[in-house]
Amino acid sequence: MMPQDLVPPVLSVRDLTVEFVTRRGTLRALDAISFDIARGEVLGVVGESGAGKSVTGSAIIGLIDPPGRIAGGEVVLSGERIDNLPPDAMRKVRGKRIGMIFQDPLTSLNPLYRISEQLIETIRTHTDLNAADARKRAIALLDEVGIPAPERRIDGYPHEFSGGMRQRVVIALALCAEPEFIIADEPTTALDVSVQAQIIALIKRLCKERGTSVMLVTHDMGVIAETADRVAVMYAGRIVEIGPVRDVVKQPLHPYAKGLMGAIPSLEGDAERLVQIPGAMPRLQAIPPGCAFNPRCEKAFARCHVERPELVQLGDRKVACHLYDQPQSSRDKAEIAA
Amino acid sequence: MSQGPAERPFVQVRDLRRIFDVSKPWLNRVLERAPRQYLKAVDGVSFDIRRGETFALVGESGSGKSTVARMVVGLLPPSDGTVSIAGISMNDVNVAQERQRLRRRIQMIFQDPYASLNPRWRVGRIIAEPIRAFGIVHGEADITGRVGELLTLVGLHPDDAGKFPHEFSGGQRQRIAIARALASNAEFIVCDEPTSALDVSVQAQILNLMRDLQQRFGLTYLFISHNLAVVRHMATRIGVMYLGRLVEVSEGKQLFSHPRHPYTRMLLDAVPDLAMVGKAREGVKGEIPNPISPPSGCTFHPRCPLVFERCRIESPPVIDGVACHAVNQGRIAAA
């Protein structure tokens, strides 16, 4: 997107590589991925289980547990490199400058403490407000995320809230320190559709009002289509296509992205059969040489089996596929048109 | 509905109810003077399923769809109401023997393929279990042959019979569950969220497979899902459930082009869809109320934009496939 060229991005990830050292050898969960997120932008990250979506989030906030480790690359938050910070300094970044929203609101909240205690503790950790002011701020936050009668509800325990309301509390927790960047890892997966719609609307509104950037990790393309500005499609630890959500969802270029979009049953259209990608994502131990997608790709040719495609710029987006490597060939034009 | 008077529906569900006792333990009730509490998980649900069709039940969590599925297959006895399949009652003691023969024709596929396959059994034994239990094929060689056939049918290799479930991915396990369901020559398969634990590309494979098998063997499905897009893709007819009641029954695609009940409309508006890129959506109000103390009258009235006095008092009957006072009185135009 345009603002990136003028203003430095809020988050910039360069060649981030994460490896897990096991007895059977080193597994590469993330393989040199790079992307930027601009201020106020929502970047959707999609892919199937094991594609590396959640690992990306964990790596950014420095929560990769051994035997995993960041084996290379850098993470830059508003111009400051954060992937090599000592644990103490990183703990201050986490929560203060990067907020987190996880899938299951029950596991992000402590069931033994009142909502008020959890919010006030977080606020006081990251700001120098006194207890009374922190409580006022907590009530204001609950109000902002749409919890009715926050003065009364704030002293409730997590189990007294419904799933949707709990997720709102988690969002309020993430907002406590006014972070510049939020990682939302499957924030609506555990919720019903009608509640999911409310949470999506809330996240969108907060981005707009506060200018917070969001990395939205989900496997639900519908959620991405509605919420994100740009989307990155991941496959076997790499980004295979990244670009404006309109382009990637409506006219995906990478064969995997195409298959993924076609595989989703829609509320419109009349497909008798869904597009079927044969096989399944390779395990990390057995990522095929060349393009990781080549065994499942019907367009694969000789080069795909030996040479790994790099992300190349194509208009507003980037695609990692040999079909689009040489823009001069007529084949690509046909592909783009298709 | 367009049903010939001569042909009886394959599955008939009439006025099905299930009430769970969720009271506190006896001592607490005595000490706290708390009354017994009941949860009406399913409250008077009636529908028919025709032979060879896919009838889908959709609804949010807690709407009672899985409870209906369990009662239909006989895993859970209903508190009231009847289920009859192929003309045989599932709860009449007088037809116990006939029911026993009917049982093999009914199978179920569950949501979580990690939990529904015995991890200590080889796949061959899992699939052969119904074959042996119902005595469908005799002789080890023939059973092995039949297992191989079934595995091929669902897109696996006959040699996979020697492996354990943990050697397979989620999608492959769901294929094994389907093979097991087909092993007893089932005609009617109840699928409770068969693809919600799977990735989208694998989900597409399983849905396509289920459709192919339906066409090939004339299977009848009761398909439970919370995913409206999946239901639209699979279903011949769809029932929408809300708080234990069926609020709307409609022909498949028609539900999406002409939703009638206000809840159905709200639900359709809430689904994130690929077609929604960059579009603003209408807000959805509220959440499903606590089923232990559901609202009076029409249970949807606190969230309904078309609520009027009668909705708060009187529970609407199902008329012409919709249970809504506003629709019946013609207060909303057909969409």
Which of B171, B205, B270 is facing A193, going by the closest CB pair? B270
How many other CB atoms are found less than 10 A from the CB of residue B93? 7
Average pLDDT over residues A145-161: 88
Residue B92 has pLDDT above 80, yes or no: no
Query: pLDDT tens digits, residue range A227-278?
Result: 899 999 999 999 999 999 989 988 999 999 998 888 888 777 666 778 888 8
Nearest to B169 among A220, A223, A280 (CB): A280
> What ipTM was estimated for this complex?
0.75
Give the CA dihedral A230, A235, A239, A240, nearest 10 degrees. -90
Residues of chain B above pLDDT 90, percent: 39
- For B228, which residue in chain A has the nearest alpha carbon? A267
Specify the DSSP element, H or E, that contains B100: helix B96-103
The per-residue pLDDT for A103 is 80
**pLDDT at residue A3, as a whole number:** 46
Whole-angstrom distance, CA of residue A2 vs CA of residue A244: 11
Question: Can you give the pLDDT at residue A220?
Answer: 83
pLDDT value of position A175: 87
**b/e for A100-117, b at 16 or more Cβ within 10 A?**
bbbbebeebbeeeeebbe
Partners of A26 in beta bridges: A21
Question: Count of CB contacts below 8 A, A vs B?
Answer: 132
8 Å CB contact of A249 and B277? yes
Strand residues in A133-180 grouped as ranges (E): none
pTM for this entry: 0.82
Tokens 């936050």 sit on residue: A141
Inform me whether the pLDDT recorded for A296 exceeds 50: yes
Q: What is the mean pLDDT of residues B309-326?
A: 88
Do strands B88-89 and B80-85 pair parallel, antiparallel, or not at all (unpaired)? antiparallel
pLDDT value of residue A6:
62
Q: What is the mean pLDDT of residues B64-71?
A: 91
Whether A192 and B171 lie within 8 Å, measured CB to CB: no
Burial of A121 (0-12, 13-18, 19+ CB in 10 A): middle
Nearest CA in chain B to A160: B290
Q: What is the mean pLDDT of residues B190-203?
A: 87
On average, the pLDDT of chain A sits at 86
Taking the C-alpha atoms of residue B55 and residue B53, their distance in angstroms, rounded to an integer, is 6
Using a CB-CB distance cutoff of 8 angstroms, which residues of chain A are in contact with residue B202? Answer: 48, 280
The string of DSSP codes covering A23-71 is TTEEEEEEEEEEEEE-TT-EEEEE--TTSSHHHHHHHHTT-PPTTEEEE
Take residue A81 and report the two structure tokens written for it: 């490199």
CA gap A34, A238 in Å, rounded: 9
How far separated are the first and last CA of chain B, in Å rounded? 19
pLDDT at A116: 92
Model confidence at B335, in pLDDT bands (50, 70, 90)?
very low
Instruction: Give the pLDDT score at B5.
Output: 45
Q: Is the pLDDT of residue A298 over 60?
A: yes
Q: Which of B60, B202, B279 is closest, CB to CB, to A192?
A: B60
Render B115-179 in DSSP notation, one character per residue. Answer: TSS-TTS-HHHHHHHHHHHTT-S-SHHHHHHHHHHHHHHTT--GGGGGS-GGGS-HHHHHHHHHH
Mean pLDDT of the B212-218 span: 92
Crossing angle for the helix pair A193-210 and B262-270, to the nearest 10 degrees: 50
* Closest CB from B61, B201, B271 relative to A48: B201
Least Cα distance to B289 among A273, A194, A297, A203 occurs for A194
Chain A residues in contact with B208 (beta carbon < 8 A): 273-274, 276
Which of B171, B200, B208 has its CB closest to that of A280?
B171
Residue A274 in contact with partner chain B when CB distance is under 8 A? yes
pLDDT in tens, B113-141: 888 999 999 999 999 999 998 888 888 99
- What residues of A are in contact with residue B256 (Cβ under 8 Å)? 267
Decide if pLDDT at A182 tops 50.
yes
Q: What is the DSSP string of B23-55?
A: PPPHHHHHHHTPPP-EEEEEEEEEEEE-TT-EE
Q: Count of H helices and E strands in chain B?
A: 12, 10
Alpha-carbon Rg of chain A, whole angstroms?
Answer: 21
Backbone phi, psi, residue B194, to 5°: -65, -20
Whether chain B has a CB inside 8 Å of the CB on A205: the answer is no
- Residues A241 and A232: beta-carbon distance below 8 Å: yes
The chain-wide mean pLDDT, for chain B, equals 87
Confidence band of A191 (pLDDT split at 50, 70, 90): confident
Q: What is the pLDDT, as a whole number, of residue A11? A: 92
- pLDDT in the model for residue B95: 79
pLDDT, position B278: 58
> Is B274 close to A200, i.e. CB distance below 8 A?
no
B286 or B250, higher pLDDT: B250
Identify all chain A residues contacting B278, using CB atoms and an 8 Å cutoff: 245-246
Model confidence pLDDT, tens digit, residues B14-50: 999 999 888 888 888 888 888 888 888 899 999 999 9
For residue A337, is pLDDT > 60? no
Q: Is residue B181 within a helix (H) or strand (E), and if so which, with residue range?
A: helix B170-183
| Nearest-angstrom CA–CA distance, A42 and B73 | 45
pLDDT at A125 over 50: yes
| A contacts of B287 (beta carbons < 8 Å) | 162, 164-165, 192, 194-195
Tokens standing for residue A53: 């979506």
- The Cα–Cα gap between B233 and B194 comes to 14
Which B residues, 11 through 50, put their C-beta within 8 Å of a C-beta on chain A?
Answer: none
Instruction: Report the b/e string of A170-182 with b at 16+ CB within 10 A.
Output: bbbbbbbbebbbb
Roughly what angle, to the nearest 10 degrees, separates helices A131-144 and A163-175?
130
Q: What is the pLDDT of residue B287?
A: 75
The residue written with tokens 């990183």 in the block is: A90
Q: Does B232 touch chain A (CB under 8 A)?
A: yes
Q: Would the CB atoms of B271 and A222 count as touching at under 8 Å?
A: yes
C-alpha span between A245 and A230 (Å, rounded): 5
pLDDT recorded at residue A200: 85
